[in-house]
Structure 1
Amino acid sequence: MLRALPLVLSLTAVMLSACGGGPKMDISQMTAAQPVEAALFSPLGQANEYRIGPGDKLDVRVFQVEDLSFKEIVVDTSGEIQMPLIGTVRAAGRTPNELSTDIAGRLGTQYLRNPQVSVVVLEAASQKITIDGAVTKPGVYEMRGTTSLLQAVAMAEGPTRVADLSKVAVFRTVDGQRSVALFDLGAIRQGRADDPAVRGDDIIVVDTSQMSVFMRDVIAALPGLSVFRPY
């Protein structure tokens, strides 16, 4: 019986600024926080947390089966790839490990005995993040591959002098629900806290000491740093 091959994620982080200034987000219009189901924000070093997206280029290998292996396959705009025998496979929103497990499972059901599948992200398509609040150049920016929170703020040319670095909020959709987590950028800069990876469509708000009442209420309700809470 063949041993399972280790999954390798090879991804080079490249940051490209897309826009300069932009309209400020009005966080006062958001609804109040609801009871929490916590989700931890993964540190940047955990490469398996990268979620594949449309336009990403993948290397998909089925061990010792060349006809089912592809040195370069692009995720289409619907977030899918086409594979021989098993047809359409959903790739977007999954980690390379999750995708390889799905492909292996489908092949193993009818066609191969104990297939060994590896998925490598060769090139990550650009994804957009919004950076707002007390930063030099708020706006919408493009990122490629894995980008940390510290790197994302640097895209907007860093925080302003009035920024409260202990209160940096990241808004994200978690399991279909809009959620928010709070980070201490000062602690991250000093190496006292992990620098977490941000994802496409995240909204990052570096706030000032003049924080809105709504944001104070949301932050006060958070169970702790680096934990997402629905709002």
Structure 2
Amino acid sequence: MKALKILWLVTLTFIVGCSSQATGRAGVPQPSSYPATSKEYRIQPGDQLDIKLFYNPELNEQLTVRSDGRITLQLVNDVVAAGLTPAELTAFLNKAYAGELENPKVAVIVRTSVADKVYVDGEVNRAGLVTLTGPTTVLQSISQAGGIKESAKADQVIVLRRIDDGTMAGIELNLEQALHGADASQDIFLQPNDIVYVPKSTISNVNTWIDLYIRKNIPLPIGLGYSL
């Protein structure tokens, strides 16, 4: 589970890129519906890929993109896959295999993606990845993670999210109000790659806590240009 958490946080860090200045809740848009995207999908660490060669099926591979963003293939060795679209990786592999094969015809298929998941952590019964199968709120994701423990401080749940300028932001939520029907707006809809954290005690400074949480769970330096 610890290794899975590290991989997920590294994946999120890869998506965030070079900038990660934490901001307060005021700087984060509150989504009212499940976000749609028209951007072409880019491969991420943790994705499972099928690499198929039409004329050379003995070289077919099914593998997972490592936390460093690379995959290892026969004949061409290590290849950076994360950050590329499937079409871009296909074009690159066709060129790479051309030096070894007479007529390579490569197909890249994303079998499973981490992009439709969130990570639920802290005072929940089953911390880990939760798959978004449609519009999913924070409380629904916590329910899928086995619910909150009696020790949870539900009035200060934090959602970590990448915002439009590429920075990491923390959304502070009072789920006690949502649970008791006082303020349903506290139970926001999640976006792919969000991290939901249910604390055990009061977090006095959310921005400082975000930095400490990232440092604790990602061994630094990780070689992905992440700066705190």
- Do they fold alike, i.e. is TM over 0.5? no
- Normalised TM-score (structure 2): 0.43
TM-score normalised by the chain length of structure 1: 0.43
More helix by share: 2
| Greater fraction of residues in strand | 1
